[in-house]
Structure 1
Amino acid sequence: MRRLQQQEPEVAQGEIEEEEVVSGVAEGDEVMEDADDGREYSSSTPTSTLTWISWFCALPGHEYFCEVSEDFIEDDFNLTGLNAMVPFWKEAMEMVLDVEPDEDAPKIPDVSIVEASAELLYGLVHQRYILTRAGLQAMIDKYDGGSFGSCPRVYCNGCNIVPCGRSDLPGLDTVKLYCPNCNDIYTPPSSRFQGVDGAFFGTTFPHLFFQSYREIAPAPFYRPPSGSSSSMSGRSSGSPQHSQEGRHTAFVNPNPHGGQKPAAGGVYQPKIYGFKVSERAKCGPRMQWMRLRPWSPEELDEVDSRGRWIDDDEEYEDEQEEEGEDKQMGEFDNVGIL
């Protein structure tokens, strides 16, 4: 009897422990459910804050775009004249700004039409935004990060480039890339940029960009390294003063209005068995003078607007006088007659 009495409390104590364990697991399950609910809520929060502008700039092929602030788009002064160029103006504006449309407004059956109008609207606004101080600052950050790529020309030595267009009107040409070193434009290397309109960047942006940030613009003059046989200008190659000056000194541009970065002035010279091909030959180099740069900033003042030396010939003044004289009507009588 004593043994049985002693075993009963032990059994009762064991049952109590099992109940505590079961109840403890149940409470833990409730805590885990609460934690899971919190995790799900935190993971869904970033996706809900994604705006249409951020989504548009993150699409493949839109790496050249910067995010335009909504304050700039909401200002009517910045949208002057665009309502006549963009169809479904109101619906496109609501889509770009993530504004819910009115319930009473008539619904458009095909949403893709509004999406095309929203893309056109944002592109034209983007063309104006990148000309402002905030827009230029956003593009300089992308330029420093190499988002636009580098010039494909070998003698530009990997100079960074910026996007541009050949027209300010949409639908005429795709986006191009402008190199400040060779002053030429190129087609983007990837085919995903062929669907980007060049008017979304315009013809003014690249030149205003390098005028605003002169420290990254190449200088207009270039001195070849010592021992180089290439001549950058007709006078510099024969001038003795250039050979006497040191060519390994640090680059300092005395003109604060010009580019403040050393330029890459190499020019390709065609050769056959080590001999230069003459420009008069059929296979000779053409328009090579467009790549040449003067050796010093002083030589920039020695040429006219056409790139000719001012005091080369005495006929220079005669040519100016002939250009200034009005031609008589008799000289135009037979023009255009077959």
Structure 2
Amino acid sequence: MEEVSTGSDSDYSSSWISWFLSSKGNEYFCEVDEDFILDRFNLTGLNNEVANYAQALDLITDNLDDDIQDELRGSLDVQARLLYGLIHARWIVTQRGLQKMLDKYKRADFGRCPRVLCTSQPLLPLGLTDLPYEKSVKLFCARCEDIYSPKSTRHGSIDGAYFGTTFAHLMGIVWGSLGCVPKGGGGDVMGNVVRVVEMARVGRERERERERVGAERERERVGAAEQAGGADEYRPKIYGFQLHETARLQRWQEAMRDRQIGRLEKFEVGSRG
């Protein structure tokens, strides 16, 4: 999904990460600390996702043997981009990664919400899936809680897995508000993370019940009511769990939609009679 650009020999004179971050279209990424990359625990499982994993990692950390750089440079660049992107998704949900992304958010590096009533709310990058090669990156507005496509085609081609499904929502909770505005310097960041996960777990069973009831209602809808109920709605989740407060709001929204669907059903019955 990500555009691949090649560089001249001079481009590689600095570190690979510096070259990657300075390349056009990579403005959404932040720099991952080297000690995070070198800690193999943080990379668990990525060897199954990336071909030539060891060499790609050596390229990222500037340890690749000069003897094989020329013959494998092109293919390794592609794999190194994939590996860095997947590492990046893990990095930005750590305390230091969140802080770096907060700095970019405050500068509106990811753009602003196009919705008029959101009054130019800064956006955050978001993946619709944590699996690579499935969905491109989207932008999440914490005010209207909707998602948008990047304006630039360069940014629109970035794989959404490089940011993941959790980061944007974890950012808002960690910094104390959905608007991602830090209060008192962020407070107990890791304590907030623990509370977020606990909140998500509390809402999981309720979410399953809501999905079960929703599936039953969906089977009963016909005609215009079926079309009205088929609209997609983005559901914020952290580590796969739907946020409790958000789930309650969405249940209210769905109740209002179901009420309107009921009116449509009555209208259809009346018009047929």
SS of the residue aligned with 1:109?
Answer: helix
Matched residue, 1:173: 135
Matched residue, 2:35: 71
1:71-110 matched pairs, under 5 angstroms: 71-101=35-65, 109-110=71-72
1:188-207 matched pairs, under 5 angstroms: 188-207=150-169
Asked if the contact 1:126/1:201 (under 8 Å) is kept, the reply is yes
Once the 2 structures are TM-superposed, how far is the Cα of residue 306 of structure 1 from its aligned partner?
Answer: 2.4
2-structure distance, mates of 1:217, 1:98: 38
1-structure distance, mates of 2:99, 2:143: 21
Once the 2 structures are TM-superposed, how far is the Cα of residue 194 of structure 1 from its aligned partner?
Answer: 2.4
1:146 and 2:147 aligned: no
Asked if the contact 1:181/1:218 (under 8 Å) is kept, the reply is no
Q: 1:55 aligns with which of 19, 28, 46?
A: 19
> Where in structure 1 are there 5+ consecutive unaligned residues?
1-46, 220-255, 259-281, 291-299, 311-338
2-structure distance, mates of 1:164, 1:130: 11
Distance 1:305 1:156, change over 3 A: closer
Percent of pairs with identical residues: 42
1-structure distance, mates of 2:116, 2:172: 21
Once the 2 structures are TM-superposed, how far is the Cα of residue 48 of structure 1 from its aligned partner?
Answer: 8.7
Structure exhibiting the larger radius of gyration computed from Cα positions: 1
Whose helix proportion is higher, 1 or 2? 2
Asked if the contact 2:172/2:180 (under 8 Å) is kept, the reply is no
Once the 2 structures are TM-superposed, how far is the Cα of residue 91 of structure 1 from its aligned partner?
Answer: 1.0
CA RMSD in angstroms comes to 3.3
Asked if the contact 1:174/1:195 (under 8 Å) is kept, the reply is yes
Asked if the contact 1:165/1:202 (under 8 Å) is kept, the reply is yes
2-structure distance, mates of 1:166, 1:305: 18
1:135-284 matched pairs, under 5 angstroms: 135-215=97-177, 217=179
Distance 1:108 1:90, change over 3 A: farther
Asked if the contact 2:111/2:122 (under 8 Å) is kept, the reply is yes
Once the 2 structures are TM-superposed, how far is the Cα of residue 191 of structure 1 from its aligned partner?
Answer: 1.2
Once the 2 structures are TM-superposed, how far is the Cα of residue 145 of structure 1 from its aligned partner?
Answer: 1.0
Matched residue, 2:188: none
Asked if the contact 1:127/1:200 (under 8 Å) is kept, the reply is yes
Amino acid at match of 1:202: G
Amino acid at match of 1:204: T
Asked if the contact 1:164/1:202 (under 8 Å) is kept, the reply is yes
2-structure distance, mates of 1:153, 1:81: 39
SS of the residue aligned with 1:162?
Answer: strand
Asked if the contact 1:175/1:199 (under 8 Å) is kept, the reply is yes
Amino acid at match of 1:113: S
Once the 2 structures are TM-superposed, how far is the Cα of residue 156 of structure 1 from its aligned partner?
Answer: 0.8
Matched residue, 2:8: none
For normalisation by structure 2, the TM-score amounts to 0.61
- Aligned residue pairs total 188
Show CA shifts across 1:281-324 (max 9, x none). x9xxx79xx9xxxxxxxxx9xx787228x9xxxxxxxxxxxxxx
Once the 2 structures are TM-superposed, how far is the Cα of residue 172 of structure 1 from its aligned partner?
Answer: 0.4
SS of the residue aligned with 2:133?
Answer: coil
1-structure distance, mates of 2:92, 2:72: 31
2-structure distance, mates of 1:157, 1:305: 23
